[in-house]
Structure 1
Amino acid sequence: MQLRSQQDLDHSMERLLSLDDRLQNVRDACLPGPIALRQREKGLAGLLAIVLAQQVSVASARAIWGRFSEAFPDCDVDVIAGTSDEDLRALSLSRPKVRTVRAICTALQDGFDLAALVEMPGDEAHARLCSLHGVGPWTADIYLLFCLGHRDIFPAGDLALQVAVGKGLGLADKPDAKSVARIASDRWTPERSAAAHLFWAYYHALKAGRDGVL
């Protein structure tokens, strides 16, 4: 099952709350209204937008992606691959991100199939994405969750989720990525994507309007 619509997420959220009764208070803190489904464009454009947003502020990420998408409106892999490093750097891409963009484009030209990831089990799809140079666990999680709608993904390395899980579960200290991953795996499988949406909404409520991710 994938989360393709708001109704899909609503049903997944109901199942999640039945798995862990501690989450009802977290859900209540996000009322009124449903927990909104987050969706992004799939394919190369979606993956590159996530890559370019890494380790920069939300405002900077939007500005960088705006310049990039204006330069490459069709996000054509061959056009991007044929662009010089200097021209990519002129779009405010750091040298490491230029290398990652090039590596992803080269992989796609060599036959890496982003579309096939939607049919793979989450762990397998995650491993395939992480095999790309410059694509780490967080990037893979966000792509699988937001772009492909995988049902059972929890980006444990996301700092906003770590804060929200710590607060929502009443933990004494902010849990690290390993601890959050263990909690999610033990208590929220196979509805971890709904849990991620829930705790991002909870973080938003805690921070009075600040989103944890774009």
Structure 2
Amino acid sequence: MILHLNSQDDLEEAIRALVKLDPRLKPVFELTGMPALRRREAGFAGLAAIICGQQLSTASAAAIWARLAAAFDPFHHDSLRRARADRLGRLGLSAAKIKTLKNLAREIATERLNLDVLANEEADAAHHTLVSLHGIGPWTADLYLLFCLGHGDAWPAGDLAVQEAVKIGLGLRTRPTAKEMAPLAEPWRPMRGAAAHLWWAYYRAIKKREGVIADKAKANAVSNNVPVAKGSSVDAKITAAQPPRSKK
């Protein structure tokens, strides 16, 4: 059975089932509350937007995507496939991303790839289809499956925020690698995508709490005329409140 997270109700039903299925998730859910469903545009445009954002800050990714979407309106794979590389470069795309997007556009144009049907394939098979394409890594594939197609079992094992949240929530000694994340998520099949939403919410909650603690510590230090040096424990907590960058 393939679960689809097409609405907030779908996500909430899956989260409740997960918490009932795995008691370790109960304290996680108690801290986060019900997470909000995250969805993005599907198809070529949705995957292209994720590719544009690979290894970039949110602001930089948004700026490049805004220029690209404005230059090709409507955004269609044939238009980008025919576009000159130098034009795409002037919009802010790197040579590697231009090659990835053009290859993706060709695969769709020749009907060797249908992005939309991946929603109805098993998550691991759909993941394999995407990562077999030039320039598309596991993180990009999983985000497309989860956010653009609403695949309920997509599992972003390489996402650093999810890894850190799992480490803290499950009481692990070290942050699990992408390879180690796979067996950890087995109990949550076929709802690993819903579990990912919960872990992202947990990561934001614990970092927000750490930020509050750090702010209070810094305020107390300042009120007592204690200098807060960069690299101190207080400064480290403030730095830790910033989300880590995710892998491609």
State TM-score, norm by structure 2. Answer: 0.81
Question: Which residue in the other structure is 1:190 paired with?
Answer: 190
Confirm or deny that 1:45 pairs with 2:32: no
CA-CA distance at 1:183 after TM superposition: 0.1
2:155 match: secondary structure: coil
2:99 match: secondary structure: helix
Return 5+ residue gaps in structure 1 as ranges. none
Confirm or deny that 1:154 pairs with 2:158: no
CA-CA distance at 1:207 after TM superposition: 2.4
Conserved in 2, the CA contact under 8 Å of 1:200 and 1:211? no
Conserved in 1, the CA contact under 8 Å of 2:130 and 2:141? yes
CA-CA distance at 1:213 after TM superposition: 8.1
Question: Which residue in the other structure is 1:64 paired with?
Answer: 64
1:23-81 Cα offsets, whole Å, 9 max, x none, are 111111113xx210000000001000111111111111111111111111211111111
Question: Which residue in the other structure is 1:176 paired with?
Answer: 177
Conserved in 2, the CA contact under 8 Å of 1:161 and 1:212? no
CA-CA distance at 1:6 after TM superposition: 0.3
CA-CA distance at 1:131 after TM superposition: 2.1
Confirm or deny that 1:9 pairs with 2:38: no
What is the CA–CA distance in structure 2 between the aligned matches of 1:58 and 1:211, rounded to whole Å? Answer: 11
Question: Which residue in the other structure is 2:25 paired with?
Answer: 23
Q: Over aligned residue pairs, what C-alpha RMSD do you find?
A: 1.7
What is the CA–CA distance in structure 2 between the aligned matches of 1:213 and 1:43, rounded to whole Å? Answer: 25
Flag the 1:206–1:54 CA change in 2: closer, same or farther, 3 A.
same
What is the CA–CA distance in structure 2 between the aligned matches of 1:163 and 1:120, rounded to whole Å? Answer: 28
Instruction: Give the length in aligned residue pairs.
Output: 211
Question: Which residue in the other structure is 1:128 paired with?
Answer: 129
State TM-score, norm by structure 1. Answer: 0.93
What is the CA–CA distance in structure 2 between the aligned matches of 1:164 and 1:175, rounded to whole Å? Answer: 10
Question: Which residue in the other structure is 1:82 paired with?
Answer: 82
2:15 match: secondary structure: helix
| Letter of the structure 2 residue corresponding to residue 142 of structure 1 | L
Runs of 4+ with >4 A deviation: 209-214
Conserved in 1, the CA contact under 8 Å of 2:160 and 2:245? no
| Letter of the structure 2 residue corresponding to residue 202 of structure 1 | Y
Deviating more after overlay: 191-200 vs 70-79: 70-79
Question: Which residue in the other structure is 1:199 paired with?
Answer: 199
What is the CA–CA distance in structure 2 between the aligned matches of 1:29 and 1:213, rounded to whole Å? Answer: 23
Identical amino acids, percent of aligned pairs: 46
Flag the 1:129–1:117 CA change in 2: closer, same or farther, 3 A.
same
1:93-128 Cα offsets, whole Å, 9 max, x none, are 111101101110111111121122122222221121
Return 5+ residue gaps in structure 2 as ranges. 209-240
Question: Which residue in the other structure is 1:117 paired with?
Answer: 118
Conserved in 2, the CA contact under 8 Å of 1:151 and 1:193? yes
CA-CA distance at 1:206 after TM superposition: 2.1
| Letter of the structure 2 residue corresponding to residue 119 of structure 1 | N
What is the CA–CA distance in structure 2 between the aligned matches of 1:207 and 1:73, rounded to whole Å? Answer: 38
What is the CA–CA distance in structure 2 between the aligned matches of 1:188 and 1:57, rounded to whole Å? Answer: 30
